[in-house]
Every structure is written in structure tokens, then in C-alpha cells.
Structure 1
């Protein structure tokens, strides 16, 4: 569990560094600073995956089976939101923080279907980080200019691509031993 907690904390610290310690981040420089942040994020991912897989199973509650369907539906929205930065259609003008909203949706969806302590630490920690990140960003930069909406065809292509990505995520979950559908 220690590796998992360290991974979540390192993830949050690396992402929040720029806004909570701008002087330190500036002293690190553009190239070296980005390299260190990237390294910290890669290490945090390794720690989270390794820590989650190695954590003892501590049962907290038994989620009802119908929540699997809710999870899968929320995950479609999460994937669309997380990848929305690349979209140049109408959807990208709807919200300020689509990626962080997608992370919050992903985390909540997984909390609904995983009733063990390691899942609460991982998904609850990521949900808390995403909420804090939005608050910190909004306080640092209160103004936001809504981008002009683009063509609808870009949204259609984006959703189609997100659904293909969702298929890959479902396959990967099954391959890792965590079936996302069926089971």
C-alpha cells in the first residue's frame, strides 16, 4: 500500500508544482524542469500500478452488480472528456477543464465498482487530486475565454475515436485480469 500512496502523492505533487511552487518550477528551467516533471509522472504511474497490484485486498463493501453498467457508461464519457483537448469541434468549447473532468468521472466510476481499500486509495486519491487541481487552476487564472465552437464533424470523429480507444481500454483491462465487461 505504501507504493500506491507514494505514487498518488507523487502524481499530485508533480502536477501541482507549477502552480503551488512557481518559483521552484521556474528555477528548474524549461527543458530540465519538464524532464523532471515527466520523470516524476512516469515514476508515479509505475508506483501506482505496482502498488495497486501488490496491495493486500482489504474488503470495505460489496458494490451492487448494476453499478458495472453505470461504470461502463461513465467511462465512455470519461474517455471522451479526457481526450477532448485534441478535439477541434463544438464540444471543446463547452467546459474549461475537460481532461480533469474526465479524470474525475473516471475515478468516480471506478469507486462505484471497487469496494476495496487499494481502490479507494487509488481512485479516491486521483479524484481528490483532480478536484484540487481545478480549484488551484481557477484561483490562479480566474478568467477563461471560451474557445469558438468548431465544426460538428470534428465532434463526430472525436467521439468515434474515443469509442475505439474505449474498446482498447476494455481489452487491456481483460488482458491485465480486470475484466471491464462480462465476468
Structure 2
């Protein structure tokens, strides 16, 4: 559990770095982005290792029907992730599409995973994403994108489905089939 919690803390710290120490981060320039990227990758590795090494402790048993809702929410989450890269109409009204994607993703995972390590992992990332939205809303001004189109929404859906396919493949490679089997 320690690796999992360390990974979560590292993830949150790396992502809050720009907001907590803006002057230091600004001085670092491109090397600051590289540092955040490296720490993010390390955080993911620690979270995966910690999750896999933690004993399976059941807290609650998810209802069977939640699986279908999870699948739907995952499509929504990956679409929202794609919105961050494409300027569709959704980007014109949703300020934080990628953080919204993390929120939907975390909730979807919490609906179908009732063990302690899943609650810590997905609950922790849910809390981080909500906190990040709050901090960003208080520290930055949003300029609503004016140049949006339905083509951007289609592009976001394609990007989302491609990234979702990659995520499914990684899950299967790690020995966790998201479709049960």
C-alpha cells in the first residue's frame, strides 16, 4: 500500500508543482515540463506496482449491473480526454476536459471495484482531479475557445477511442481484462 500511496502523492505533487511554486517552475522552462513528465511516469509505475502488490481486501461487492455503466462512462471519459486535444464544441463549454475525464474515469472504476487498494487508487485520483480543478479555477483565468466546430468533436471521439483501445491493451497486457474474461 505504501508504493500506491507514494505514487499518488508523487502524481499530485508533480501536477500541483506549477501552482504551488510558480516562480520556481517558470525559471525551469522546458526542463520543468520534462521533470513533471518524468515524475508523472514514475508516479504511474509506483501506483501500478503498489496496486498489484497490495493484498485484496474487499470493502464492498459492486452490483453486476455497474459493469455496463462503467463501460459507458469509460467511453465518455476517453471522449473528454480527446476534447483536450481537439477544439470541438465541447471545448467551448467545458473548462477542464482532461480533468473531467479523470473524474469520470475514477468514478467509473469506483463503481466496479470494491477492494481497498482500488478505493485508495481511484478515490485518490478522484480527489486529486477535483482539487486540481478547484486550484486552477482560483489561480487562472479561462479564455473560452472561440474557434470550435463539430469536426473537433468527431476528432475528440476518434482520439478518445484510440487512447481507450491502447488502455484496454495495456490492461490486458498487465493481466487485467477490463471485459471480465
> Normalized against structure 1, the TM-score is what?
0.91
Q: Which runs of 4+ in 1 moved over 6 A?
A: none
Residue 170 (structure 2) aligns with: 172
Q: SS at the partner of 2:60?
A: coil
Question: Aligned pair count?
Answer: 181
Instruction: Give me the CA root mean square deviation.
Output: 1.6
Task: Note the alpha carbon deviations across 1:73-119, whole angstroms, 9 max, x for none.
Answer: 00000001112121122221121000000000000100110011110
Q: SS at the partner of 2:84?
A: helix
Q: 1:35 to 1:144 in 2, by over 3 A?
A: closer
Task: Note the alpha carbon deviations across 1:100-153, whole angstroms, 9 max, x for none.
Answer: 000000001001100111101110110000011001011112x32211152323
Residue 44 (structure 1) aligns with: 43
> Normalized against structure 2, the TM-score is what?
0.92
Moved more, 66-75 or 170-179: 170-179
Structure 2 unaligned blocks of 5 or more: none
1:181 aligns with 2:157: no
Q: CA deviation at 1:163?
A: 2.4
Give the whole-Å Cα distance in 1 for the aligned partners of 2:33 and 2:24. Answer: 12
Q: SS at the partner of 1:57?
A: coil
In 2, are the aligned partners of 1:173 and 1:180 still within 8 Å (CA)? yes
- Match runs of 1:49-64 below 5 Å: 49-64=48-63
Residue 95 (structure 2) aligns with: 96
In 2, are the aligned partners of 1:82 and 1:98 still within 8 Å (CA)? yes
Moved more, 114-123 or 32-41: 32-41
Structure 1 unaligned blocks of 5 or more: none
Residue 19 (structure 1) aligns with: 19
In 1, are the aligned partners of 2:77 and 2:101 still within 8 Å (CA)? yes
Residue 116 (structure 1) aligns with: 115
Q: CA deviation at 1:171?
A: 3.4
